[in-house]
Amino acid sequence: MAEAALNTNYERITVKRIAGALGAEIFGVDLAQPLDDATFGEIYRAWLENQVIVFRDQDITPDHHLAFAKRFGKIHPHPFNKPMEGYPDILEMTKRETDTYNHGGRWHTDQMYTPQPAKATMLVAREMPPYGGDTMFSNLYRAYETLSDGMKTAIAGLKGVNNGDSKKHESGMTRAERAKAGIGQMPQIDPTDIKIQTISTHPIVRTHPETKRKALYIGSHTERFHGMTDEESDPLRQYLLDHSHRPEFTMRLRWEVGTVTLWDNRCCQHYALNDYTGFRRRMHKITICGDTPF
């Protein structure tokens, strides 16, 4: 590993940057073993500093996955998707060989349509295609910081209306319409059993509660700006969406079986690439409870 790529301000772990914008690989940790507080403290700091952290070659069970996730906070249940059998806190996301639709194939932050969106998401790669199936991430701190002063002033008081079941999905359909049309998706919870609010309004400029840095808080769930019509909102909304994932703000993660990745939904977006039709990809996902954006 090139010395310039390493962050040497750690004693118990090794941290290697993945890209200039964000992301780091963590070495020297076996997630199947209990972590002492000092080691976990360094992992947590590396996560806040890099927004996305990646652990390779981890041979962990769903119980290990849950135990590590719970170190970051309480589990945030998904309002729409059914959990994995036997593990109500884990979602199993499978794209089969015959599926053409994939999950997460648009720039977004997880559950930003809920009143208290997920703080973090932790994914474990269980089955991967021989190529493809990468995930892109984008740094929303940089997206905000590179806006002009005039634009920062213009959006300072804006709030986004975020809808978890919007027709502004890339298919132009709601979840029920996609299911009726036969577009593949995860097993869904019965609508009468949904207990979490799935349309929420949050500031477009969000202050991270731990780092205190400002981020551009927008994603594909953002339908419009509060107090405006779709037509009034769309030009600026689309500009901010496009700006939020400019290439220089991004990193690309190549998954392997046993890769564990944790990202901070409060300051980064992600996009699951759908470039492996004909192959199977299976992931286990846990999301961690967050707070009310401000």
pLDDT of 5? 75
Rounded Cα distance between 35 and 47, Å, is: 16
30 found inside a domain:
yes
Nearest to 274 by CA among 19, 95, 23, 80: 95
293 found inside a domain:
no
Structure tokens at 67: 């135990």
Domain hosting 162: range is 3-288
231 found inside a domain:
yes
Residue 177, pLDDT above cutoff 50: yes
**Top-confidence residue, 4 or 197:** 197
Residue 4, pLDDT above cutoff 80: no
pLDDT of 3? 45
Kindly report, residue by residue over 30-54, the tens digit of the pLDDT. 999 999 999 999 999 999 999 999 9
37 found inside a domain:
yes
Q: Report yes or no: 172 and 259 within 8 Å, Cβ to Cβ.
A: no
With H, G, I as helix, E, B as strand and everything else as coil, classify residue 222: strand
251 found inside a domain:
yes
261 found inside a domain:
yes
Q: Report yes or no: 122 and 284 within 8 Å, Cβ to Cβ.
A: no
Strand partners, 282: 94, 127
pLDDT of 171? 56
Q: How many domains does the chain have?
A: 1
Instruction: Give the CATH number of the domain where residue 277 resides.
Output: 3.60.130.10
294 found inside a domain:
no
pLDDT of 165? 81
Q: Report yes or no: 253 and 137 within 8 Å, Cβ to Cβ.
A: yes
Q: What is the mean pLDDT of the chain?
A: 92
72 found inside a domain:
yes
Nearest to 118 by CA among 132, 128, 108: 108
Q: Report yes or no: 254 and 129 within 8 Å, Cβ to Cβ.
A: no
Strands 52-55 and 24-27 come out as parallel
Residue 117 CA: distances (Å) to CA of 77, 209, 225, 292: 11, 13, 18, 7
Mean pLDDT of 127-144: 98
Q: Give the phi and the psi of residue 239 in degrees, each rounded to 5.
A: -60, -45
pLDDT of 173? 61
Written as one letter, the residue type at 232 is E
Strand partners, 200: 162
Q: Sorting pLDDT into bands at 50, 70 and 90, what band is 161? A: very high
pLDDT of 255? 98
Q: Is 128 exposed, middle or buried (0-12, 13-18, 19+ CB in 10 A)?
A: buried
